[in-house]
Structure 1
């Protein structure tokens, strides 16, 4: 873990994420890249825009730089190398591009979630990042005085296309000395016998060099409810899940359990792109 990207809008939620990123950075001797995307109307940044638009753009830039300076003065960032990046763009492709530009290993971002019509038609910012990111995304909902991951739930269907994401989860667990709780949720719409479920998990982890884990087969009404209920039962510190990153009409029709968890879970969620 060398480089951590933290998108920020200078909100309380973004501050919570930055504090967690700082804890991880100190533990892993990593650098932090702070990214702020200015919400400036596109016409104000066009080459053909009127000169009267320029002072307003400069005002937003100076305001962002002042906020960066205030953040860098926080005690919890002392001793950490922090890079500031300012983009005059409000598209989430900027985050994906920044990951490639700076060779980012992990995104840590805050979220207050989304529900109802807001979730259906807009979604949360974290959800949009999860949908497009090729690197793991750690979503923080609350303030953490410490970020200790003792119990880490990794929920999966344990099919072969998830094996690479499990390797990433194991790497993350080793960083914290975590126990991974392998979770397979069985629903009435996707039934399998206990024997079949145990066999699938056994075949999935065969050959892995990680032995600090438990396996659980949990029955519930939906996969999302099963994950949330199990995580609550064991008081998990973190939920991990794979995502296909569906977009457009495919996302609308099929949805995404990982994005639903990002919106609804009260505890931290980390997603790994398949």
Structure 2
């Protein structure tokens, strides 16, 4: 967790993400890279000595000035911060910025109010999640004291999720975090305890990780997948919910049979995505 990228648009939601990133930076000695995307047209940037060119320079200077004001926060004192203003119009280009700055993951604010579709699908956040090869931590609200003491990885042990599971496990392995795995048992796909345990064992075995992880799996019954995750995460007072994502299809389809549509309903728990 050496370097964290935070895309900002100077909104209050950007500040929520910045504050979370600052908390992590102080705890883990991380550096912050704060990115603002201009999105100016090519015409504005290529017409030499024209009115458009002067406008482009003006907007670049204005963005830099806003950066200075935006970063005047007491909670940022003592943190190594880099800023960058890029003229990117497509959000998949954030992944390139992350690689250029050798970032380990991205922290981003979401303007969505409720429902996974409102929070992610069709939003800037969803676009970043879809294209980012790095983990993306999504923050919806202001969090007074962000921590990652207990995280929940919700999984039906589909073999497609082996790689994001391994990435998530490795990410939190050295952070003194309780990594809780939950299997939501549903009425229409009901499995016996023996069947769930066998499915979980085969999954853990294929990850190549220690099979003692079986001790960290909870089997939880609910009427639908999303409510199960929400109910369980609140029951154990989780700080974070981990979600595997399919980049090619977007966040709405990260679980089999599109079961993820309403995960974020009435939930303020931050979500962290790991790409399949």
Normalising TM by the smaller chain, what interval?
0.7 to 0.9
> In structure 2, what is the Cα distance between the partners aligned to 1:21 and 1:213?
31
- More deviation, 162-171/127-136: 162-171
Q: Which residue of 2 aligns with 1:242?
A: 244
Cα gap change, 1:193/1:38 in structure 2, threshold over 3 Å: closer, same or farther?
A: same
Residues of 2 paired with 1:120 and 1:93: CA distance? 18
1:232-272 C-alpha deviation (Å, 9 max, x unpaired): 22221110121111338x96xx8866685468742110111
- Checking the alignment, whether the CA contact within 8 Å between 1:109 and 1:140 is kept in structure 2 is yes
Give the match for residue 216 of structure 1. Answer: 218
> What residue in structure 2 maps to residue 132 of structure 1?
131
Alpha-carbon separation, structure 2, partners of 1:247 and 1:163: 18
Shift of 1:212: 10
Shift of 1:173: 3.0
Shift of 1:125: 1.7
1:11 deviates by: 0.7
Q: Verify the 8 A CA contact 1:127 1:259 in the aligned structure 2.
A: no
Is the 8 Å Cα contact of residues 119 and 125 (structure 2) preserved in structure 1? no
- The 2-side partners of 1:259 and 1:110 are apart by 19
Report the counterpart of residue 229 of structure 1 in structure 2: 231
Give 5+ residue unaligned stretches, structure 2. Answer: none
Give the secondary structure class of the aligned counterpart of 2:216: strand
Q: Is residue 2:2 matched to residue 1:2?
A: yes
2:201/2:214 contact within 8 Å kept: no
Task: Map residues 24-103 of structure 1 onto 2, 5 A cutoff.
Answer: 24-45=24-45, 47-48=46-47, 51-103=50-102
SS in 1 for 2:62: helix
Change (3 A) 1:99 1:119: same
Aligned to 1:156: 155
Query: Secondary structure of 2:34's match?
Result: strand
SS in structure 2 at match of 1:84: strand
Shift of 1:163: 2.6
**Structure 1 residue 203 displacement after superposition:** 3.0
4+ aligned runs moved over 6 Å, structure 1: none
Q: d(CA) in 2 for partners of 1:42 and 1:82? A: 29
Task: Work out the CA distance in 2 between the residues paired with 1:95 and 1:264.
Answer: 29
Task: Measure the CA separation in 2 of the matches of 1:255 and 1:193.
Answer: 21
How far apart in 2 are the matches of 1:229 and 1:17?
Answer: 25
TM-aligned CA deviation for residue 61 of structure 1: 1.0
Report deviation, 1:55.
2.6
Looking at structure 1, the residues matched to 55 and 137 of structure 2 have their Cα atoms a distance apart, in angstroms, of: 34
The corresponding residue for 1:205 is: 204
1:188-211 CA-to-partner distances (Å, cap 9, x unmatched) read 454433321122223333453475
- TM-score normalised by the chain length of structure 1: 0.85
Cα-to-partner distance string for 1:78-129 (whole Å, 9 max, x where unaligned): 222211111122211221111221222110011122668x749962221221
Provide the rounded CA distance (Å) in 1 between the counterparts of 2:260 and 2:77.
Answer: 33
Distance apart, 1:34 and its partner CA: 0.9
